[in-house]
Structure 1
Amino acid sequence: MSLDLATIRSATNNFSEANRLGEGGFGPVYMGVLRGGQEIAVKRLSRSSGQGILEMKNEVVFMAKLQHKNLVRLVGCCLEEDEKLLVYEYLPNKSLDKLLFDPDRQIQLDWPTRYKIIEGVCRGLLYLHEDSRFRIIHRDVKASNILLDADMNPKISDFGLAKLSGINEHEGNNTTRIAGTYGYMSPEYAFRGLFSTKSDVFSYGVLILEIITGRSSSCFLSASNNLDFLSYVWQYWNQGMALQLVDHSLGSEYPPEEALKCIQIGLLCVQEDPIERPSMNSLAVMLSRHSVTLPVPSMPEFLQRLQVIVAHSSEIDMPRSDYSDLRGNLSTSDFLSSCSGSFRLISPASPLE
């Protein structure tokens, strides 16, 4: 599990810029090749960063215990000479967001590939929630944390925020530290610090809708329509025009029934009440090619409240730090009421044709 620094330096050509794959919250990531020919990806904690130590330890602990074809594999770690390094298997197609949200590369994601990614992420989360030795909540399911191998098989990555959960989740788990990506956060987690496996289900639902539409939930920045991503999807679904949401790069090369099913499943995942969201086991059944009658999603109540706020506030914004501080122990409705003058609602940069 432990790799020496000299080996990693040799593999990455001493962390050369030519080997640099990108950079995340943890720090830069480098591609490398071990002496035996194994390709690796090395996360290097930025020395100037005061964050990341806990996330690194957390990831090592979890990844050492987990093995599944839809989870990225940890090769080893290194703590030498003030370096803090995590070494993973190298996945040549990188992260899903690099393809999904790039107009020039979306074409690589045909319908069978997108459906395979949706199913694969479901299997990975099902393993974490129900089939592994521990019940694990990922807490940061999003497109940039889904890596793709040479055959476009998805692998869930980045377990720095993952949490162990008890078997009985009726009361949920609580944290005073809200961490993750807001576009994917369930309302009970973002507003009250409550998380459970159903929080991951919410994030997974947003991810499904992004995969179908080819749009990022974070790109809805125009003030022209006053709709956030989920409201936008719901509006098309409610008006019987859901197929107009499907990524135009697919053309007509997709089965309409499956596309509608995926949109419906995505909306079921983002119901406000966690109890009303399906489990990952139920989602695996829904995604099977066998005929399954799906529940009809209702408009999440928090979207209704957001629309009320929009009607009384045209341009509202809140920095992330203030957003976390105001959360406290407020209910969703109380929170929205308290920040109705400073919460910015977002809408798509351009309408779908």
Structure 2
Amino acid sequence: MDAEGLWFSKIEREYSADLGEFRWTEEQRTWDWRDLTTVELVRTKDGKKKLILRRRGEVQTRYGRPDKIDSDGGPFDATLRYMLGIDIDKGIGKIETDYYTAKVRDHVKDRWIMIGPKMRWSFQIGEDAWIWQWAEEGPGSSGGHQKAPIGEVYKYIKDILEAGELVYTNKFNLNVGQNDECSPVIYQPAVDGMKNFIREIHCFKRPPTEEGMEMEVTLVFNNEELRKHRVLNKIYERVRLAKYGRLKDIESFVIMADSPDEKASGLRFTKIYSGHHNLEEDTIHGDPEPDLPPHRVRYYADEYRHPIIFVNTSNHAMAEHDTNPDLWKWEYVPWVEDRPFVSDKMSRKEVDRPYRSSLERTFEGLTRRLMNLSG
């Protein structure tokens, strides 16, 4: 359902992300987010009703899309996509009118902006969240809230809830262009993404076997911040630089799919499975053995070729389920054109090659020279 022009507010605990450490506090406040794009009402496997919210932001990037940099070296205007799920089992309230002052974060200028007080229309969802719009803004607003976007979204939710016909689904609509190749959609807590975002996603199709097709997915992160052990960050960076010749963290997992339709059926997260651990953890390396049974795909995006993966911890351990439900997620869709990251098809070996340590490169060079001399 189109939600252009709407806002979302929620009473939530404050969190701290200073110096690379993420932690929840006991203080609460109302958080405001603008630029909603869509809402989708779904029923989960356990019978709960959830409202899936999506919003967008804009960012200029040079390194994220080197294929889009013009001859003058100017940045590429990309779109950041966000997703959040809200429990809505208790229904929704009526549309009400009040005066409100919104407080939003300007990440470009690193400051808070106050908007208002202005008249708004809003309705409550769940126990402590609201969807709303400014009364004097948006198409149809002159005709009252019934004809405004807030009224249309309210009617969409109310009609579905009252009909009682909402059925379980594990396939969610992205409202982006279709893609026929097997590839994942990745979600990562947006707090973590401030310094720890994904730079590259590579989907490498391994040679098919009798058991089916395997897609090796490699994620290149900007950096890996240790949240609980931030005092070790600089030491960890030096160790990684010496050992791997890079500061970027690179992780890989495998999608197991049925041939020839490439429907994703299983996932292997060798040494990077998060289990139930969340963003506050930074030393999680679940599924230590490569021959463990694969995890079943829990959710899909648009088609069964697109399994949904959640990056759950600060050291980028991941899973087929979300362990940070109260946090907005970056939504990484590899096939959209306005993405702020590289999307390619290199293997893990190819991705690793530019980041090999100087010692490894020197040893490889010596080996080649010795082989040439012996030949």
- Structure with higher RCO (Cα < 8 A, 6+ apart): 2
Q: Tell me the TM-score normalised to structure 1 length.
A: 0.23
Higher strand share: 2
Say which structure is richer in helix. 1
TM-score (norm 2): 0.22
